[in-house]
Structure 1
């Protein structure tokens, strides 16, 4: 059965050049990335060599725009132009790469998204968690989410840009502190408001949703509700290992977990150490591939 990696990043040459041409965040100078809320990051050029990356893969790979860049939050034509570059250049990449669409969250345009979703190699839409952090934000994104439902394709929620903080912080800070908090917020917002508005939408939260479901006891103790796991909510594994993944399985079931690596920033999981379904059946169900078994506990 085909194995999936539901979450990787690869910048096609056209996107790299577009980022080098910019004078405002986000921008590249040669191979150093500059973002307002993170330390300058030295990018490994080999990590964005499509042919070299292709030779390392053994299954279907779903690529997404790097939402911490903040491109989806850029206003007007500034963001739209970069999103267009992403779609055009990513869809030219060779197999086994497939593409998560991107969309402006400052000026959502469901008509533009509908056209992109008609591309067979576009598997769904990625949105930054920073655009889904409370019920009101989910309402603002509903035109895009409704279009996604009509297309029968899923949503991937990914960390967005880190906010600017005072003082010197270690390089790992953004990935471990604000990214995780963003995922937790977006999960809570979806738990409160998302499913009520979008009954049939399949959704996956990157990085195990910041481990938000593990707080279900505190949620209930403080007056919230947490019942049976939602069969259309999935949790992607990137940067986590057995401790976190197995703990989450105890709460939401093995059928809710989908494999994603976040390569080139982390590596795929060892399939010998985890249930086979997280690499095969579960991602297929997230993507709406028919003929797969129901989720289990």
Structure 2
């Protein structure tokens, strides 16, 4: 089965909830307002469930994992209302859509997560990289990660919100500067402290972890240590052959899993890239099965 491990699709109830808000993040018609980014015009067709489903079926994707958009900053906010709306509405999406759970990180609720993880359509948990940026942060969310280990389900690390006050930059700035830096930092923090705490947890880093493993030579030159971790995976969104080939040379082709970040980027061409990215690698990441 071909998988896409990373997409975003907002169900109607979630869109309505964003429109009812008067603090960040919020929608006005189809314009999204965030604290750290300029207003963004959302394409209504990008969140048309019927249209998106038809496209995935036509392309032959058997399993599509959709997640809360962590740059919205919802996981860092007070209360669980929007997260609850996400779960309730996303779990009603039809096949081939499956769901990454979300969790509040200010006040983690491991028992609530444990209940969600018992739902078959929940693939695992997505957390923002901004919640995993150093050993203390990893310790803070460790109760959530313990529930993931117990359930045998993986963690997906996704860029979090851009810092407030960075509006006015080019539209590509958040994706290329704060998002990449967050991924790089969270990978380094996991390398430093996460694996020791959670020895069996499968973890996938969006956007090839900001290419952090390519710095392994500098890491070892400055006194650190590096070894390929068989439980760490790297999702491809927005990257093509040059970056994927370079990272595969460091972590191995078996660690690379396909994710498109649709609607913000498009899937890789399965006729061009190794079949394993879409099938066996994704299955190992999502289920632990060889």
TM-score range (shorter-chain normalised) is over 0.9
CA distance in 2, matches of 1:119, 1:95: 15
The CA deviation at 1:255 is 0.1
Measured against aligned partners, the alpha-carbon deviations of 1:133-189 in whole angstroms (never above 9, x if no partner) come to 001100001000001100110000000000023572001100110000000000000
CA distance in 2, matches of 1:123, 1:260: 14
Aligned counterpart, 2:188: 188
CA distance in 2, matches of 1:276, 1:220: 32
Q: Which runs of 5+ in 1 are unaligned?
A: 293-297
Aligned counterpart, 1:69: 72
Measured against aligned partners, the alpha-carbon deviations of 1:10-41 in whole angstroms (never above 9, x if no partner) come to 00000000000000000000000000100100
Aligned counterpart, 2:91: 91
Aligned counterpart, 1:273: 272
Aligned counterpart, 1:127: 127
CA distance in 1, matches of 2:212, 2:135: 16
Find the residue that maps to 2:233 and give its secondary structure.
strand
Which deviates further from its counterpart, 20-29 or 166-175? 166-175
Aligned counterpart, 1:295: none
CA distance in 2, matches of 1:214, 1:166: 27
Tell whether the 8 Å contact from 2:75 to 2:105 is kept in structure 1 after alignment.
Answer: yes
CA distance in 2, matches of 1:72, 1:6: 20
Runs of 4+ in 1 over 4 A off after TM superposition: none
The CA deviation at 1:271 is 1.1
Aligned counterpart, 2:230: 231
Aligned counterpart, 2:9: 10
The CA deviation at 1:289 is 5.2
Measured against aligned partners, the alpha-carbon deviations of 1:190-218 in whole angstroms (never above 9, x if no partner) come to 00000000000000000000000000000
The CA deviation at 1:287 is 1.1
Tell whether the 8 Å contact from 2:46 to 2:52 is kept in structure 1 after alignment.
Answer: yes
TM-score by length of 2: 0.97
Find the residue that maps to 2:260 and give its secondary structure.
coil
The CA deviation at 1:125 is 0.1
TM-score by length of 1: 0.95
1:192–1:250 CA distance, 2 compared to 1 (3 A):
same
Q: Please provide the CA RMSD for this pair.
A: 0.8
Aligned length, in residue pairs: 286
The CA deviation at 1:275 is 1.1
Tell whether the 8 Å contact from 2:37 to 2:166 is kept in structure 1 after alignment.
Answer: no
Aligned counterpart, 2:102: 102
Q: Which runs of 5+ in 2 are unaligned?
A: none
Aligned counterpart, 2:211: 211
1:152–1:31 CA distance, 2 compared to 1 (3 A):
same
CA distance in 2, matches of 1:269, 1:112: 35
CA distance in 2, matches of 1:199, 1:31: 43
Aligned counterpart, 1:28: 27
